[in-house]
Amino acid sequence: MTNTITKNISVIIIEDYKLTRIGLCSTLNQFEHINVIGEAEEAVSGLELIKKEKPDVVLMDLGLPGMNGLEATLKTKEISPETNVVILTSHERGEEVIAALGAGACAYCLKDIEPNVLSQVIVSASQGACWIDATVAKAALNLFPKPENITNLPKAEISDARAQLTDRELEVLKHLVQGKSNTEIAKELIVSVHTAKAHVCSILQKLCVDDRVQAAVKAIKENII
């Protein structure tokens, strides 16, 4: 990966673990062409920073508290279209790679990435180039249907996944994609937190996923909502 560096690249980090943020800031600021101008531990405050600073690049975790990294990526591209999003996460599922790119991210990195490589990815992202960690790229490619099935398979998957969910569960899923908590969902739907939690558990079971992030990923990837 070779790039011509023409300016300092402004970066904002959105990551919920404080030690990870500190480590990233310290590491990236060692590179003369990278300038970390802000950090946030969750998406809402991170989006406020992005709106104010209009950085060249955002390093975005997927598993954020409240609003997840997918929804935050979508909103980043809405409020600052020129800002390029680099996903930096421990999530290795191919579905998450596809959903992240579909949400507007231009790079997908795992957290064990070498500092020098990450700096090069940031340069590439600032120039609008796409980069995917080789570890997860194959998993993402394996999700694409074979040529003989390319006409029928996607439609069947979308129909099957959506058909399993009730109208209320589809409504709850929309809130999940927006990163809302069970308490927030309960308030929106005027139901108890226990009822909201039951709907979420049912959605995870029907979609065959392990957590809320994966449910949001599947909803976006398969156009369920």
Domains of the chain are 9-141 (3.40.50.2300), 147-221 (1.10.10.10)
- Label residue 140 by pLDDT band (50, 70, 90): confident
CA dist list (Å): 44 to 40, 57, 67, 74, 182: 9, 17, 7, 13, 17
Distances (CA, A) of 86 to 11, 58, 110, 206: 10, 6, 10, 31
Q: Mean pLDDT across the stretch 104-117?
A: 92
Q: pLDDT (tens digit, 9 = 90+) per residue, 187-222?
A: 989 999 888 889 988 888 888 887 787 787 778 777
* Nearest residue to 14 via CA among 52, 70, 56, 64: 64
pLDDT in tens, 44-76: 999 999 999 999 999 999 999 989 999 999 999
CA–CA dist 21, 167 (Å, integer): 40
